[in-house]
């Protein structure tokens, strides 16, 4: 980065990632003059995005004035985040550091379709915001996690097997409209970002507990099966958001297993929570939902334990190829089935079949954030987008800075 290119947005990034947190350090990192750094920081202070922290110890020989530490002010705005499951949703008001200020969850049927679901979410958001006493103008963005494939650039859900009525629906626009209606605002509403649940869970979990891991893989096993990849600290989505959609890889030996996507023999048709519920019912243990499977596993029901372990092995078969391609440092198994039997099955298969070199430094772990992962990922993605150097500069310009 040369001096002339180091805009206010770039300085903000250096401050946020901790690589330069004083005026002097910013000058050294960018080559900008003292007065130019001062001018750009003034823009950031005027926007309310920065605050001064404690004095830093003086560096180098001879000392000098102690320099004040500059900090991103994570309380100057809030993000609204929501996580949609197939029968359940969560929503929260989150500050810019990822701290949850108010939170709600409850039954919501994704099969009710986008109009009803998005309107209900907007109502939840309005209630939660009121609970925190935050005025609606302080909302800088809205993040939404959905259980289906998303084209990141357009925010559209693409042929989702378990989201009837959502294919190609303009989620961003409709949620913005619904939100503006609930707060009776004429102003342009906060921007909305939408992504797939496994991606957002991977993003949040990597940042929460595996920040040093340069290749992080999360596999979510709930109603369906999906995966998210964080490489070099960034979500890897592929060219149209299709990366990680491993649930519909065909297995060679189960041509009769009908999947929710309409095909036969998919991994999700054999090893997902939905598949396990059906297998348990067939074995004489009536189980009608994924949470039912989870309850049986928690109770140590022998058929549930046996079938979950076998499902883990089937997922492990597919993951042998995935980990060989990605060589991840951490493989996290998340979602409602992510308990011990399932994990044991995955491990067994991986360590039996993958090359030792691929798994030598691989750790297989369970979730750190639990049910909140999707929600926190949805909030984090909004903050990273809005305060990235280019977006930050554009927003500062709009503020008149
Ligand atoms: Zn399928």
User: Residues 50-73: what's their mean pLDDT?
Assistant: 79
For residue 180 the two structure tokens come to 């503006």
The answer on pLDDT for 35 being more than 50 is yes
Mean pLDDT score of the chain: 93
- pLDDT on residue 353: 93
- CA–centroid distance, 196 to ligand 1, in Å, is 16
The answer on pLDDT for 181 being more than 60 is yes
- CA–centroid distance, 329 to ligand 1, in Å, is 28
Q: What percentage of the chain reaches a pLDDT higher than 70?
A: 97
Q: What angle do CA 216, 347, 294 make, to 5 degrees?
A: 90
The answer on pLDDT for 401 being more than 60 is no
pTM higher than 0.85: yes
| Interatomic CA distance for residues 26 and 69, integer angstroms | 11
- CA–centroid distance, 284 to ligand 1, in Å, is 25
- CA–centroid distance, 353 to ligand 1, in Å, is 24
258-268 pLDDT, tens per residue? Answer: 999 999 999 99
- CA–centroid distance, 268 to ligand 1, in Å, is 6
- CA–centroid distance, 148 to ligand 1, in Å, is 12
User: Residues 278-299: what's their mean pLDDT?
Assistant: 95
What does 86-146 look like in DSSP terms, one character per residue? SSEEEEEEEETTS-EEEEEEEE--GGG-HHHHHHHHHHHHHHHHHHHT--GGGEEEEEEEE
- CA–centroid distance, 267 to ligand 1, in Å, is 7
- CA–centroid distance, 245 to ligand 1, in Å, is 10
Check residue 194 and report its DSSP letter: E
114-163 pLDDT, tens per residue? Answer: 999 999 999 999 999 999 999 999 999 999 999 999 999 999 999 888 89
- CA–centroid distance, 142 to ligand 1, in Å, is 30
Least confident of 51-55, 108-112, 246-250, 378-382: 51-55
- CA–centroid distance, 276 to ligand 1, in Å, is 15
| Interatomic CA distance for residues 234 and 152, integer angstroms | 14
pLDDT confidence bin for 90, thresholds 50/70/90: very high
- pLDDT on residue 65: 67
- CA–centroid distance, 259 to ligand 1, in Å, is 5
Instruction: Classify residue 64 as exposed, middle or buried by CB count within 10 Å of its CB (0-12, 13-18, 19+).
Output: exposed
- CA–centroid distance, 225 to ligand 1, in Å, is 10
- CA–centroid distance, 264 to ligand 1, in Å, is 7
| Interatomic CA distance for residues 222 and 204, integer angstroms | 18
- CA–centroid distance, 296 to ligand 1, in Å, is 25
Are the beta carbons of 156 and 114 closer than 8 angstroms?
Answer: no
For residue 393 the two structure tokens come to 């500069």
- pLDDT on residue 63: 58
- CA–centroid distance, 359 to ligand 1, in Å, is 28
Residue 284: count of CB within 10 angstroms of its CB: 7
- pLDDT on residue 61: 60
- pLDDT on residue 101: 98
- CA–centroid distance, 126 to ligand 1, in Å, is 37
- CA–centroid distance, 383 to ligand 1, in Å, is 33
Q: Report CA torsion sign: 204, 205, 206, 211.
A: positive
- CA–centroid distance, 220 to ligand 1, in Å, is 15
- CA–centroid distance, 250 to ligand 1, in Å, is 8
- CA–centroid distance, 248 to ligand 1, in Å, is 4
- CA–centroid distance, 64 to ligand 1, in Å, is 65
- pLDDT on residue 3: 41
- CA–centroid distance, 214 to ligand 1, in Å, is 30
195-247 pLDDT, tens per residue? Answer: 999 999 999 999 999 999 999 999 999 999 999 999 999 999 998 888 999 99
- CA–centroid distance, 22 to ligand 1, in Å, is 52
- pLDDT on residue 175: 96
Check residue 342 and report its DSSP letter: H
314-348 pLDDT, tens per residue? Answer: 999 999 999 999 999 999 999 988 888 999 999 99
Please name the residues in contact with 245: beta carbons below 8 A apart, sequence gap of 6 or more.
Answer: 149, 226, 227
Q: What percentage of the chain reaches a pLDDT higher than 90?
A: 86
- CA–centroid distance, 117 to ligand 1, in Å, is 24
- pLDDT on residue 17: 92
- CA–centroid distance, 23 to ligand 1, in Å, is 54
């Amino acid at each position: 980065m040369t001096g002339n290119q180091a805009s206010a947005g770039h300085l903000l990034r250096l401050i946020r990632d901790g690589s330069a947190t004083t005026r002097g350090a910013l000058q050294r990192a960018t080559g900008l003059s003292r007065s130019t750094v001062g001018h750009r920081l003034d823009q950031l202070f005027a926007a309310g995005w920065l605050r001064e922290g404690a004095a830093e110890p003086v560096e180098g020989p001879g000392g000098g004035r102690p320099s004040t530490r500059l900090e991103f002010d994570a309380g100057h705005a809030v993000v609204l985040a929501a996580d949609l499951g197939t029968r359940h949703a969560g929503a929260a008001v989150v500050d810019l550091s990822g701290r949850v200020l108010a939170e709600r969850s409850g039954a919501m049927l994704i099969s009710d379709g986008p109009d009803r679901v998005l309107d209900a979410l907007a109502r939840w958001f309005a209630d939660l915001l009121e609970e925190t006493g935050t005025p609606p103008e302080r909302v800088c963005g809205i993040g939404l996690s959905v259980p289906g494939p998303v084209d990141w650039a357009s925010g559209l859900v693409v042929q989702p097997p378990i989201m009837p009525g959502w294919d190609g629906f303009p989620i961003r626009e409709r949620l913005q409209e619904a939100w503006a209606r609930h707060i009776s605002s004429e102003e342009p509403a906060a921007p909305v970002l939408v992504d797939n649940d496994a991606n957002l869970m991977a993003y949040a979990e990597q940042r929460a507990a595996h920040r040093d891991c340069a290749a992080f893989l999360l596999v979510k096993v709930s109603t369906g099966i999906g995966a998210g990849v964080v490489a070099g600290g960034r979500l890897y989505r592929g060219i149209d958001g299709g990366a990680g959609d491993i649930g519909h890889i065909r297995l060679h030996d189960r041509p009769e297993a009908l999947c929710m996507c309409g095909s036969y023999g998919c991994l999700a048709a054999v090893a997902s929570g939905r598949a396990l519920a059906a297998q348990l019912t067939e074995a004489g243990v009536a189980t009608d939902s994924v949470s039912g499977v989870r309850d049986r596993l928690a109770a140590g029901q022998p058929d549930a334990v046996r079938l979950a372990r076998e499902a883990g092995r089937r997922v492990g078969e597919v993951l042998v190829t995935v980990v060989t391609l990605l060589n991840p440092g951490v493989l996290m198994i998340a979602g409602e089935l992510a308990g011990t039997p399932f994990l044991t099955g995955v491990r067994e298969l991986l360590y039996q079949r993958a090359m030792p070199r691929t798994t030598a430094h691989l750790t297989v772990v369970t979730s750190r954030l639990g049910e909140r992962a999707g929600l926190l990922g949805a909030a984090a993605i909004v903050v990273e987008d809005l305060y990235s150097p280019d977006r930050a500069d554009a927003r500062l310009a709009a503020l008149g800075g």
